[in-house]
Amino acid sequence: MNGKIELAVFDLAGTLVKDNNGVRDCLHKAAIAHGLDVTKDEISTHMGTNKIHLYQFLIARKNGNMIDFKNFEVDIDDSTREQATDIYHDYTKYMISYYEENCEEIEGATETLKWCQENGIKVATGTGFHSDINQVIMEKLGWVKNGLIDCAVDLDMVPEGKGRPAPFMIFKAMEYLNVQNARKVIKLGDTPADMLEGYNAGCRAVIGVMQGSTPIEVWGKYWHTHVLNTVADLPELMKSGKIV
């Protein structure tokens, strides 16, 4: 049926985990507290990335250095590092507190992960979070403990924390799970960064989900192969034979 697919790499917030704009709002709250004048929409458009680098990106743009988002992990303005790190520390406190109270899976997420495992597809997650936040999510939902996720990749597992849109978190999952061909990998997410990550990694399919906080009008401008209403629809897509 789908034996050629060996690995599915899922985003967390907005794809497997309910978001309700929590990540965006925590990012914005920390930015405003430190005097960085950015809108929630500016943050939302660039979700799914390394959050320190996101703050660096936003600070640089406010200073007139208009870095192209496609070069997000290439053209990093080092002069913004200290300010961005200070903002990030407050963001981390807000985000951990948020997930301690509001960590729920998207309906059907567990069933989809089980389906993948039962059909010989290894499961990895990749996230724009560092390990402290990633661990809170995994502990709350129990997916690693219960054997539903084979590899939970976060930014602390890749060199220099180079997350999306760079492909290195996908490559890390492939290395760990001994999947040697990106054409046997599918990527699922709900942000422009997810789409670019899957494209840059050369994945067989790059699948956008519409249930996340970032609307399709934003991420749909970037290369993708399929669109699902929710991650719960993945098994039907896989069984349909439409991933070729």
With H, G, I as helix, E, B as strand and everything else as coil, classify residue 48. Answer: coil
Looking at every residue in the chain, the average pLDDT score rounds to: 94
Q: Which of 130 and 72 is assigned the larger pLDDT?
A: 130
pLDDT over threshold 50, residue 1: no
Of 3, 12, 7, 5, the residue nearest 171 (C-alpha) = 7
**Domain-ending residue, one of 71, 102, 133:** 102
Structural Rg of the chain based on CA atoms: 17
Closest CA to 234 of 107, 144, 103, 147: 107
Q: Is the pLDDT of residue 187 over 90?
A: yes
Confidence at residue 80, expressed as pLDDT on a 0 to 100 scale: 92
Residues 138 and 149 reside in one and the same domain: yes
Flag whether 2 is in a domain: no
Alpha helix positions (H), the chain: 22-33, 40-45, 51-62, 81-102, 109-118, 131-141, 168-177, 192-201, 216-219, 234-240
**Residue 65, pLDDT score:** 87
Query: Is residue 1 domain-resident?
Result: no
Average pLDDT over residues 223-234: 98
The pLDDT tens digits for 108-128 are 999 999 999 999 999 999 999
For 41, what's the count of Cα atoms within 13 Å in the CB-facing half-sphere?
A: 2
Task: Determine the residue type at 198.
Answer: G
Residue 167: asked if its preceding bond is cis (omega within 30°), the reply is no
Question: Are 209 and 114 in the same domain?
Answer: yes
Q: Domain check: are 206 and 132 in the same one?
A: yes
| Lowest-confidence pick of 67-71, 91-95, 106-110, 145-149 | 67-71
Note if the pTM is more than 0.95.
Answer: no
Q: Which of 196, 113, 98 is nearest to 148 (CA)?
A: 113
Higher pLDDT, 66 or 96: 96
**End-to-end CA, the chain:** 11
Q: What is the CATH number of the domain that holds 215?
A: 3.40.50.1000
pLDDT of residue 242: 87
pLDDT score at 3: 52
Query: Is residue 164 within 8 Å of 128, Cβ to Cβ?
Result: yes
Overall domain count for the chain: 2
| 80 and 136 assigned to the same domain | no
Same domain, yes or no: 37 and 14: no
Residue 77: pLDDT band (50, 70, 90) is confident
pLDDT at 5 over 60: yes
Better-scored residue on pLDDT, 78 or 226: 226
Structural domain span for residue 111: 7-19+105-240
| Per-residue pLDDT at 2 | 44
Q: Please indicate, yes or no, whether residues 67 and 170 belong to a single structural domain of this protein.
A: no
Query: Given 52, 68, 102, which residue is the final one in a domain?
Result: 102
Same-domain status, 121 and 173: yes
